[in-house]
Amino acid sequence: MISFTINDREVTGQEGWTILEVAKWHGIDIPTLCYHGAVEPYGACRLCVVEVDDGQQRRLVASCLHPVQEGLKVQTDSERVKNVRRWILQMMVDEHPGSQRIKELAKSYGVKESRFKSDRVEDLCILCGLCVRACDEVVGARAISLGNRGVRKEVATTHRLPSPECVACGTCLYVCPTGAMEQLFDRIRG
Amino acid sequence: MRQISTALKLDENRLASPAALAAYRESILAERDPNRPIIIVCHGTGCLATNSPKVADTLRRAIAAAGLQAQVVPEIKTTGCHGFCSRGPLVIFHPTGLFYQRVQPEDVEEIVQTTLLEGKPVERLLYVDPNTGEHIVHDHDIPFYKYQQRLVLRNIGKIDPADIRDTIAAGGYQSLAKVLAGMTPEEVIAVVETSGLRGRGGGGFLAGRKWRLAVENVRKSPGPVYVVGNGDEGDPGAFMDRTLMEGDPHAVLEGMIIGAYALGAQQGYIYVRLEYPLAVRHLSVAIEQARALGLLGQNILGTGFDFDIKINRGAGAFVCGEETALIASLEGRVGEPKTRPPYPAEKGLWNRPTIINNVETWGNVPQIIEKGADWFAGMGVPHSTGTKIFSLVGKVNNVGLVEVPMGITLGRIVEEIGGGVPGRDEFKAVQTGGPSGGCIPWELKDTPVDFDSLTRVGSMMGSGGMIVMDKRDCMVDVAKYFLEFLMDESCGKCVPCRMGLERMHAMLGEFTMGKGSLEDLDELHSLAEGIKDGSLCALGGTAPNPVLSTIRYFRDEYEAHILHKTCPGKVCRELITYAINSELCNGCTLCARECPAGAITGVKKKPHEINSSLCIKCGVCFEVCKPEAVEIL
Ligand SMILES: Cc1cc2nc3c(=O)[nH]c(=O)nc-3n(C[C@H](O)[C@H](O)[C@H](O)COP(=O)(O)O)c2cc1C
Ligand code: SF4
Ligand code: FES
Ligand code: FES
């Protein structure tokens, strides 16, 4: 058993558990977007960041991936944490104004009206990669992957053609946090 | 491939013991006439591009034709980069050190006549000190070299990297022999630990500690382990790793073989940037020759130790230099970073403990073994020992590659080695650490150049980039420039970096146009902090440095753009106008002829005028005007 603190509260977790898992166990809320218990964590959205102090250094880590450590002091809502989340959500709302889930999260972190607005309002994909991981790890079909780099990154099939591997199971629809897959699904399934 | 491996007759025997290496070295030295003059023609990437092979060829032929007497026929040697490419092609005479710059084939005849036959220097080929106007004859008197301490670079420019015998004659592989003849892996690690060697690739992690961690992890989970040399060098304008791999490939190999021995690895990889074909070639040749001599491969130096190295070409993306992305790329996956921990020393290549070090870090290892940990730790400053190679560019007289002891001040590098600023402008800042480093204002020129001091002032060591800026640089524009590079290189996996860099770039763009408010400046600052804190890998983690450091030290420039709609560096197009000073203009008409927009009018020999509604602010008139009558307002 490993004991440490979350928001000054003594907690314990098993070796190999992540901070997020222990927090959930103890009913401490940490927002997530690219995490799902059914697939390997990926660490892409960074919404789950928490501030940790290991006695040498204070820094922010992704709680969905960071293993628990004896004596670690975790803060889930420090100013630095809030600043990161506010900006992630600010940029996501500006880029994907159509997603209800993001709108709600954004509201709770004090996100403001912004002069930076996306010209592709219908685009809902936040590239969390949940569909890709679920298709690979849960279904085993590997019909989709994340292609391209940087701002051009996208969920895609090989050559952007309908995927022969797709079994139309709909798992991706289920895990997608924003509803983006509903627009993509027909193109993948063919 | 230039006259390689022919140099080494591959039927030569494999060296069967550490003692055999020493004997082999003796035999090479005995064959050589220590008094024979050597003419070195630089064959680094820079000089190759400015015609050095032609110079070497012409020299060879001219010397043959001149009928010099047998004992004075100089040997012509082609070496790696001397770091002073802006003066290339370089030709240097040994043993005197007579130094010629910008030599072209047309100069060869005079060189043979004046220098080789009459024994006098050719004045016009000498280096002229831009500050004193003095002609300098010998390389060791040129300020650019005089204040350097070349240790990692010690062989570069002296040896032919394609001939292993040259390396061995210079002492190469002696440290490997020393290790294999009588040091335990534990002793090797202890030496590297005590030396205080820190990684030269950017992070500055203690090499010895990394090795120790890897060894402990192997102990916990026995099985294969790997060593990797990171030669991806993606920073624009940086060429220290290229120079090392091209000019002294065996130093990197030897360091890695020693590391492999310490860790118990049997396989190593060198990951070389895609755009470095010459480095790949020289490393390949070096590996081939080292194998032929039994310095690499099975049963190294007859001691039963097996280790081999493969070269991998980089995937062409900046982020592939990041260690977890590099490992993914080596495994054939997409070169995208992963969250650490686990670190490579625990789960690296194929999920096995892996030591990944920068090639300059590896290049330091042989000398540390040879001369000892205390010798190394005695150089530099307490927490940054040894030397570091920098690529000094920008607004300085001498641009190039320099190796200096850690802890030397920024000002000394720029003024003594760099030879000061050209023209009449003053220094403004030095940007260190590559694209995601910070801008250090000239007021802080006494900052020691070591890992911790640079971090303290809001910049970083990075891999050793150093760009000098003067009063004609706009710091808002500089920040925007670096962000543009980083934004394009973001892998896009994590949100703060993918979206945040683009947003910062957009906000900086507004400022350069005189838009935005002071609240926006505060927002930019908090976004920068958010990206730094929130990003997955160090690309996003350090990308805000150009923004944060310029806001910290040059807030006045941001305010000038935002509040007064002026650009103090006179760079931002939206905020400047070009005008002709009628008192200085002599009516030569040059600017009117050059202006691509037809915005300049005037009569010959009478002051000209610029029509600002037509002007596209390209600045051509400013560049061409001899009496400096064009002003930027
Ligand atoms: C975006 C990015 C690019 C990097 N590029 C390089 C590189 O080109 N060469 C290098 O040696 N290290 C690079 N690094 C650092 C490596 O991740 C790693 O720290 C280094 O290879 C470790 O070796 P060292 O301890 O000897 O420096 C990069 C890091 C980041 C975040
Ligand atoms: S910080 Fe940038 S480069 Fe690193 S993982 Fe995130 S998006 Fe990719
Ligand atoms: S939930 Fe942890 S990074 Fe997305
Ligand atoms: S290539 Fe000749 S000095 Fe750099």
Strand boundaries in B101-168, DSSP class E: 127-128, 135-136
Kindly tell me if the per-residue pLDDT of B2 is higher than 50. Answer: no
Report, as an integer, the average pLDDT of B316-342.
Answer: 94
Cis before A177? omega within 30: no
Strand ranges (E), B375-426? 380-381, 384-385, 387-394, 400-405
pLDDT recorded at residue B33: 84
Question: HSE-up of A135 (CA within 13 Å, CB side)?
Answer: 27
Using the predicted structure, report yes or no on whether residue B4 has a pLDDT greater than 50. Answer: no
Q: Three-state SS for A38?
A: coil
Q: Which residues are paired to A2 by β-bridges?
A: A13
pLDDT at position B9 over 60:
no
Is a pLDDT exceeding 50 seen at residue B3? no
Tell me if residue B532 falls in helix, strand or coil. Answer: helix
In this predicted structure, which of A124-128, A186-190, B531-535 has the lowest mean pLDDT? A186-190
**Stretch B50-60: mean pLDDT, rounded?**
94
pLDDT digits (tens, 9 = 90+) for B451-478: 999 999 999 999 899 999 999 999 999 9
* Mean pLDDT of the region B115-124: 92
> Cα(B305) to centroid of ligand 1, in Å?
29
The predicted structure's pLDDT at residue B51:
93
pLDDT band at A189 (very low <50, low <70, confident <90, very high): confident
Which residues, in sequence order, are CB contacts of A173 under 8 Å at separation 6+? A181, A182, A185
Pull the structure tokens for residue B471: 């009063």
Report chain A residues whose CB lies below 8 A from the CB of B496. 46, 84, 87-88
Is the dihedral angle over the CA atoms A97, A103, A109, A113 positive or is it negative?
positive
Kindly determine whether residue A49 and residue B534, on different chains, have CB atoms separated by under 8 Å: yes
Of the candidate ranges A14-23, A142-151, B147-156, B437-446, the one whose mean pLDDT is the lowest: A142-151
Residue nearest to atom 8 of ligand 2 (CA): B491
- Answer whether CATH 1.10.1280.10 is correct for domain B475-563: no
CATH number of B577-632: 3.30.70.20
**Mean pLDDT across the stretch B198-212?**
96
Contact B90, B82 (CB under 8 A): yes
Neighbours of A136 (CB within 10 A): 17
Cα(B479)–Cα(B546) distance, rounded to whole angstroms? 5
Residues A63-111 have pLDDT tens digits of 999 999 999 999 999 999 999 999 999 999 999 998 899 999 999 998 9
* Spatial distance between the Cα atoms of A50 and A19, rounded to a whole number of angstroms: 9
- Give residue for tokens 């989340």: A85
Query: How many other C-beta atoms lie within 10 A of the C-beta of residue B219?
Result: 10
Contacts of A83 in chain B (CB under 8 A): 526, 529-530, 533
For residue B34, what pLDDT band results from cuts at 50, 70 and 90?
confident
pLDDT at B206: 98
Q: CB of A43 within 8 A of CB of A88?
A: no
Please give the share of chain A, as a percent, with pLDDT higher than 70: 100
Tokens 């890992």 correspond to B451
pLDDT-derived band of residue B7, with 50, 70 and 90 as boundaries? very low
* In chain A, beta strands by DSSP E: 2-6, 9-13, 49-53, 58-62, 73-75, 145-147, 154-156
Please state, rounded to an integer, the average pLDDT across all residues of chain B.
93
The mean per-residue pLDDT over the stretch B260-272 comes to: 97
Q: Name residue, tokens 């016009």.
A: B124
Q: How many CB atoms lie within 10 A of CB B124?
A: 11
**pLDDT (0 to 100) of residue B11:** 47
Single pTM value for the model: 0.92
Residue B536 DSSP code: S
Mean pLDDT computed over every residue of chain A: 94
B493/B489 Cα distance (integer angstroms): 11
pLDDT tops 70 at residue B1? no
Asked if B364 and B386 touch (Cβ cutoff 8 Å), the reply is yes
Higher pLDDT: B2 or B526? It is B526
- Residue B596 carries which DSSP code? T
Do the chains contact at A153 and B498, CB–CB below 8 Å?
Answer: yes
Evaluate whether the domain defined by B172-377 bears CATH number 3.20.20.70. no
State percent of chain B over pLDDT 70. 97
Q: How far does the centroid of ligand 4 lie from the alpha carbon of residue B79, in Å?
A: 9
Distance CA A70, CA A22 (A): 13
Please tell me if residue B536 touches chain A, with a CB cutoff of 8 Å: yes
In the beta sheet, which residues pair with residue A75?
A51
Helices (H), B136-173: 143-146, 164-169
The class (CATH top level) of B381-470 is alpha beta
Parse chain B into domains and list their residue ranges.
Answer: 37-146, 172-377, 381-470, 475-563, 577-632
Partner residues linked to A59 by β-bridges = A52
Domain B37-146 CATH class label:
alpha beta
Decide: A24 in ligand 3 pocket, CB within 6 A. no
Query: What is the pLDDT averaged over residues B295-324?
Result: 95
A34 Cβ below 6 A of ligand 3:
yes
Q: How confident is the model at residue B66, as a pLDDT?
A: 83
Smallest Cβ distance to A65: which of B339, B493, B527? B339
Is the CB of B336 within 6 Å of ligand 1?
no
Residue-level pLDDT at B8: 52
| Domains of chain A and CATH, by start | 2-77 (3.10.20.740), 130-189 (no CATH)
Count CB pairs under 8 A between chains A and B: 86
- The pLDDT-based confidence of A141 (bands split at 50, 70, 90) is very high
